[in-house]
Structure 1
Amino acid sequence: MLTHKNKVLIIGPFPDPITGLSISNAVLLRGLSANGQHVDFINTEHATNVSSELGKFSFSKLNFLFFYCKIYKILKNDIIYMTPGQTFFGVMKYLPFVLTAKLFKRKSLFHLHGNSVKDVYASLKGLKSKLYSSTIKCFDESIVLSQSLKVNMQPFFKDADIHVEHNFIQEDIAISLSELESKKDYKEIKLIFISNLLPEKGINNLIDALLKLQSLDINFKIKIAGNIPVNNTNISDKIAQLKSGEYLGVVSGEKKRDLLLWGNVFCLPTQLEEGQPISILEAMTYGHFILATRTPGISDIIHDKNGALLENYDVASIMKQLQLLTLNQVEQKGIFNSRFANNRFTEASYVERISNLLSTNA
């Protein structure tokens, strides 16, 4: 564990808006503080709403320059934990932070929440490629969310300096196995979607698939929760066309617990190179069959025993997989997930594991 004399600085996005990454940073900040650790942070989030404009330059994004005013905090701390983005600009905006840490001999860690670094690096040429690589190599160590995601960091770090630490579910929605088994219902198939309603997360294709099935008189109950970004507001009209569909807005705490208890099939037909979505771990803990796109991070935890992986995230593929669902397999794989995940992905264990990594060679 970290000793109390070690001072930690977390640099990355914090809520709002709510994303898996911003939640992770907030949980780590709260957990270290609760353990008596001296911890501070620099919030690099400049947006107030979720959008699909990842990696695209805009002058509004120059707002992050304000956060360099807080770079002096690096000098007041011993360990600098950072969660950069994966695009060229997402990495480059952390260059002043990591250079300052290196100059003043502060230990720095790059915690990757995703699976796109390898693809971004392969796509860059010339100076941009060298800048991207050099920036990441300035960090002392890195963390990824699952074993197959290590490939993203292997061009930049020795294998011993790439650590694997899985994600967590939030403490305020944790549930005991006995409570879950007494309340969970597998009498009918009930779908849920919990994520920001970005087209890239697959929500549009999922709704289109359900609407096509509805036209064939095949209806599924579904409840959808998450923030609607400004570039996808028409999704509300599509959801309204579903006879058995309901949009709940952003949920947390008891409302999120209730939703996770209600459903038994979690859908995430994402188009993104996901890391290890917190929402999937939550759904597993609550006894859901998992229907998600095959990506390295997701396929590390989802397989034939606990769900189904989409090879393609298009409407036809989603329709086909939904039609293959049976109550028996949903119940069997849901129960498998709850027994596997219960107490495995706790918030406390996540904070302890990251704390242990931060303390190494500090």
Structure 2
Amino acid sequence: MSKKKIYFIAQFPPPMHGLSKAVETLYNSELNTAVDSNGEFEFEKVDITNNKNFVKNLLKISRSKADLFYFTISQTRGGNLRDLVIFKLLELQHKKCLIHLHGGYYRQLVDNDMAGWQRKANYKAIKKLAGAIVLSKSLKKIFEGMIDDDKIFVVENCVDDQYLLTDQEIEEKLDALENKKILHVLWLSNFIRSKGYPFVLEMAKAEKERVDAGGEKRFHFDFAGKFFEESEKEYFESYVKDNKLEEYVTYHGIVGGDEKRKLLKECYIFALPTRYPNEGQPISILEAMGNGMFIITTDHAGIPDIVGTENGIVLKTNAKAVDVFDVIRGKPNIEVLQVCKRNRKKIETSFKQDNYLSSMRLTFSEIRLKTTYFCEK
């Protein structure tokens, strides 16, 4: 019996971010016969990261005889124009299309940030899809009224096996926490201001002020990720220099592999106070939880579906860094430890790589069995 073919129209690394990492994990998984001969599907792909290859990519898509086209759509107006062209091509060729939204901004983009003709084109295209995947239950509302409810699927992100500490490693890490004098706080993401790194810098400043006033140093702040804009790098470096935070802040650059695992093992608190408009369900938060960290984040996008007060601190819109810092500084290590253990267990139960791949396999199978094609009215 021949394997069903699935064609990926998606963003692959580089650059590395939540979307491209999730796509890479799926494509290189045992679901793909190219990786495991017992895999259920034959995966093919076109990388749409570079728009300079747009025409070439359209030709590749048009030549594919795949049973299903898996498409990770954009959340920008320009990217959406590209997506509309791809939608039209698939429609004209009577292709079955499943989209995957790695974010939470698409509906606002369509309803509030587009000209009328582009908005109508999106509603028309989405209605004809075989299905749409979102990252969490609260994000299903993005497609409500655009496509039938039974065609909206939830597939939550995961922690890749390579970035999950072993049971022995996590036991060693958490055993050491009770007597730790200085706890490392990690901020790991791309340096976009709305993702909250200035807030964490303010926490570092508050720590220095407490030490200068006679207190003992309790926290060190580790930052890792990519600067896409020179202005962001200048802001970060200037803040550290102007506030004399060199002994409190370390920038590790872009991390991966063993270097990233080392950071995940050394840090006990993870801070991502994001209000990034395109945010969906940050993989970095799941990685932090799976590696035994206390979480500081926001009630934004799909984050409340994975983080509650039992997992750390969930910030409201008007939260101030110094107040959050005072709360975390007042928590004894044993209380932080209890949360770290709880977070590790949650990831092991529901957010491991196997959970993600199982959900994707079930979604692919259900879509494949439907008779819905893109051209359906």
Deviation at 1:72, TM superposition (A): 2.3
What is the aligned partner in structure 1 of residue 357 from structure 2?
A: 351
Assess if the C-alpha contact under 8 Å between 1:177 and 1:339 holds in 2: no
What is the aligned partner in structure 1 of residue 224 from structure 2?
A: 225
Secondary structure at 1:10 match in 2: strand
Assess if the C-alpha contact under 8 Å between 1:45 and 1:64 holds in 2: no
Amino acid at match of 1:344: S
Would you say 1:206 and 2:200 are equivalent positions? yes
**Which shifted more, 222-231 or 344-353?**
344-353
Distance 1:161 1:229 in 2: 36
**Which shifted more, 129-138 or 188-197?**
129-138
Distance 1:7 1:193 in 2: 39
Distance 2:259 2:2 in 1: 36
Assess if the C-alpha contact under 8 Å between 2:165 and 2:265 holds in 1: no
Distance 2:260 2:184 in 1: 15
Change in 2 beyond 3 A, CA 1:151/1:337: same
Distance 2:343 2:273 in 1: 19
Give deviations 1:224-282, integer Å, cap 9, x for gaps: 11112234121234345422211111111221111111111101011214211110110
Change in 2 beyond 3 A, CA 1:66/1:341: same
Distance 1:349 1:286 in 2: 17
Change in 2 beyond 3 A, CA 1:311/1:80: same
Deviation at 1:65, TM superposition (A): 4.5
Assess if the C-alpha contact under 8 Å between 1:269 and 1:318 holds in 2: no
Would you say 1:119 and 2:125 are equivalent positions? no
Deviation at 1:216, TM superposition (A): 4.5
Deviation at 1:178, TM superposition (A): 4.1
1:26 counterpart (24, 27, 41): 24
What is the aligned partner in structure 2 of residue 304 from structure 1?
A: 309
Distance 1:259 1:103 in 2: 49
What is the aligned partner in structure 2 of residue 55 from structure 1?
A: none
Would you say 1:281 and 2:281 are equivalent positions? no
Assess if the C-alpha contact under 8 Å between 2:204 and 2:221 holds in 1: no
Unpaired runs of 5+ residues, structure 1, are: 47-60
1:77 counterpart (56, 59, 66): 66
Amino acid at match of 1:198: I
What is the aligned partner in structure 2 of residue 17 from structure 1?
A: 15
Amino acid at match of 1:308: I
What is the aligned partner in structure 2 of residue 43 from structure 1?
A: 47
Distance 1:306 1:25 in 2: 27
**Which shifted more, 286-295 or 102-111?**
102-111
**Which shifted more, 201-210 or 300-309?**
201-210
Secondary structure at 1:68 match in 2: helix
1:190 counterpart (180, 184, 188): 184
Change in 2 beyond 3 A, CA 1:130/1:5: same
What is the aligned partner in structure 1 of residue 300 from structure 2?
A: 295
* Alignment map for 1:325-336 (pairs within 5 Å): 325=328, 326=331, 327-336=333-342
Secondary structure at 1:14 match in 2: coil
Report percent identity of matched pairs.
Answer: 29
Distance 1:292 1:275 in 2: 13
Amino acid at match of 1:88: R
Deviation at 1:204, TM superposition (A): 2.4
Amino acid at match of 1:150: K
Amino acid at match of 2:322: M
Assess if the C-alpha contact under 8 Å between 2:9 and 2:48 holds in 1: yes
| Structural RMSD (CA) | 2.2
Secondary structure at 2:254 match in 1: coil
Secondary structure at 2:314 match in 1: strand
Would you say 1:158 and 2:145 are equivalent positions? no
Assess if the C-alpha contact under 8 Å between 1:98 and 1:139 holds in 2: no
What is the aligned partner in structure 2 of residue 49 from structure 1?
A: none
Secondary structure at 1:342 match in 2: helix
Give deviations 1:57-90, integer Å, cap 9, x for gaps: xxxx6664443232224x3211100111122333
**Which shifted more, 297-306 or 133-142?**
133-142
What is the aligned partner in structure 1 of residue 4 from structure 2?
A: 6
Amino acid at match of 1:264: Y
Unpaired runs of 5+ residues, structure 2, are: 369-377
Distance 1:361 1:81 in 2: 11
Secondary structure at 1:94 match in 2: helix
Would you say 1:167 and 2:139 are equivalent positions? no
Amino acid at match of 2:90: A
Assess if the C-alpha contact under 8 Å between 1:310 and 1:318 holds in 2: no
Distance 1:28 1:340 in 2: 22
What is the aligned partner in structure 1 of residue 259 from structure 2?
A: 255
Deviation at 1:361, TM superposition (A): 4.3
Give deviations 1:151-209, integer Å, cap 9, x for gaps: 00112111111111110111212223343022234224320011111112111232134
Secondary structure at 1:133 match in 2: helix
What is the aligned partner in structure 1 of residue 371 from structure 2?
A: none
Amino acid at match of 2:253: G
